[in-house]
Structure 1
């Protein structure tokens, strides 16, 4: 098999006898994607020639966590490994996409059902550090949401910006804002929900039945409305939010704060 760990896994563990062809699905800004066709169906494979398997391992754990809820369609991950020439790969279930991004009303409802059902008794965070895009995401388990959000989301992103641009004035102003977000959450009832973590239009599709599919996650357990920062940037419409809030009511304590604090920091 020419020292090809992808083909080796498919032929030995994928319950197939023959790979009948491969085709490129596209090259994104981070990873390349291929479809491996076999006599027993297709596999979806992503590769990265520069980043080790830790990135895909985090993605696989997130996909599996969402898949196990049985509440929203996500591709099941099968295998993560290293490429012999450097870099890494992930093999997962191939889902044939439909022609549209899916029904936004159905997506809002299914996402809310996942948030409502999938909780954590470990607090806010995730089982491993993962990435949002190629940017590291810190997921150290934390008992308090405000502490987690301040330190591992806003604070960490602020540190990255400061390292890149070195603007101490901006750093100081943003740090002051972070230190004063507590009143915005006063009276809020917050539970650690399983979040996709990178929910924008490029990570949403539909299957051939028109049901929504979500992929390429940056999962962690957090305040459910933190999911909306990315989705608002992606142009989700009223149908999405109306259906979502029928299942997961808005947190009125946060609305009284007079601002939207749910945006992610990506």
Structure 2
């Protein structure tokens, strides 16, 4: 049966004739029986065909966030990690898969390799990816910083700032229309979009008007700064950072785009980055003048997104950052 997105099955009692079959024959028969009963299950279909498995030995829920359900499929060909969403179509997972593939291609920090994205016949969507066995600790922060710097250094775009598709930050749409101007891109597609959403959802004209003033006066913060399009994870907080069983850093659940590398630290208020992290990172990607002054600007985008996702508890933090910048920039 299907219960809350977790697929379970009750083992059938074997017939006497089936007991006379050889082990390989019994496995093939069980596979055909399973596929017949669950004929419209695209996750099982992929695992038992393109996934090169002949038998699914166990399916277990491993929780999930507030948006998707996460499940582990153990098979005779290894384990797979599957996320499902009952209310959102494949476009969200397609954006995630493209981001994972882009990060994977930099050959720097470890990310789960995506295999398949598709629609569920009952509505919603799924993504199948590599299952990574996580280690017991958060790992060495200096290694994480160095590996992240290597990803930013290797992942470049000749098209400018943006990404090939729009994706999501949490469940909020993230607009990634290409732009050659970072300040313009960040103002319009990051701050501007979130401010419009706050006005629409909450009627918050005060934060909208203040935010618009800030958007028009950002350039002094970037004087003398080299901004080049680097591949960003885009949603790097503690819940999206782990290690594999060998202690190597792993990052997951991205909201990728090509942007100013400093924007990667917009979620640092809940990422736990320490001194060793930043020291190692800046050995690969040298710190630019005014980094500390711009850091809150990048946090603002995520505070605004949390305000739009989770409500008024984040509004005061966003307003405080905007007010500080308006005073600093005298606008």
Q: State the TM-score bracket (shorter-chain normalisation).
A: over 0.9
CA contact (8 A) 2:195 2:207 kept: no
Equivalents in 2 of 1:195, 1:262: separation in Å?
Answer: 13
CA shift for structure 1 position 20 = 1.0
SS of the aligned residue for 2:173 comes to strand
Q: Are positions 1:19 and 2:35 aligned together?
A: no
CA shift for structure 1 position 257 = 5.6
CA contact (8 A) 1:228 1:264 kept: no
Correspondence for 1:34 among 30, 49, 71: 71
Q: Are positions 1:98 and 2:139 aligned together?
A: no
The count of corresponding residues between Structure 1 and Structure 2 is: 265
SS of the aligned residue for 2:225 comes to coil
Correspondence for 2:245 among 205, 208, 219: 208
Equivalents in 2 of 1:259, 1:98: separation in Å?
Answer: 30
What residue ranges of structure 1 are gaps of 5+ in the alignment?
none
Correspondence for 1:134 among 157, 166, 171: 171
CA shift for structure 1 position 178 = 1.0
Q: Compute the RMSD of aligned alpha carbons.
A: 1.4
Equivalents in 2 of 1:195, 1:230: separation in Å?
Answer: 12
Alpha-carbon deviations, 1:114-172, whole Å to 9, x = none? 10111100000001000011110000000100000000001111111111111222211
Q: Are positions 1:263 and 2:299 aligned together?
A: yes
Equivalents in 2 of 1:248, 1:140: separation in Å?
Answer: 25
Q: How does 1:171-250 map to 2 (within 5 A)?
A: 171-250=208-287
CA contact (8 A) 2:262 2:295 kept: no
CA shift for structure 1 position 225 = 0.3
TM-score, length-scaled by structure 2: 0.78
SS of the aligned residue for 1:12 comes to coil
Higher helix share: 2
Question: Closer, same or farther in 2 for the Cα pair 1:259/1:87, shift >3 Å?
Answer: closer
SS of the aligned residue for 2:301 comes to coil
Equivalents in 1 of 2:220, 2:65: separation in Å?
Answer: 40
Equivalents in 1 of 2:93, 2:293: separation in Å?
Answer: 38
What residue ranges of structure 2 are gaps of 5+ in the alignment?
1-34, 303-331
CA contact (8 A) 2:265 2:295 kept: no
Equivalents in 1 of 2:271, 2:292: separation in Å?
Answer: 25
Question: Closer, same or farther in 2 for the Cα pair 1:195/1:43, shift >3 Å?
Answer: same
Highest relative contact order (Cα 8 Å, sep 6+), 1 or 2? 1
CA shift for structure 1 position 263 = 2.7
Larger Rg: 2
SS of the aligned residue for 1:13 comes to coil
Correspondence for 1:154 among 156, 176, 191: 191
Question: Closer, same or farther in 2 for the Cα pair 1:173/1:76, shift >3 Å?
Answer: same
Equivalents in 2 of 1:260, 1:75: separation in Å?
Answer: 30
TM-score, length-scaled by structure 1: 0.96
Equivalents in 2 of 1:71, 1:264: separation in Å?
Answer: 28
CA contact (8 A) 2:118 2:125 kept: yes
CA contact (8 A) 2:155 2:231 kept: yes
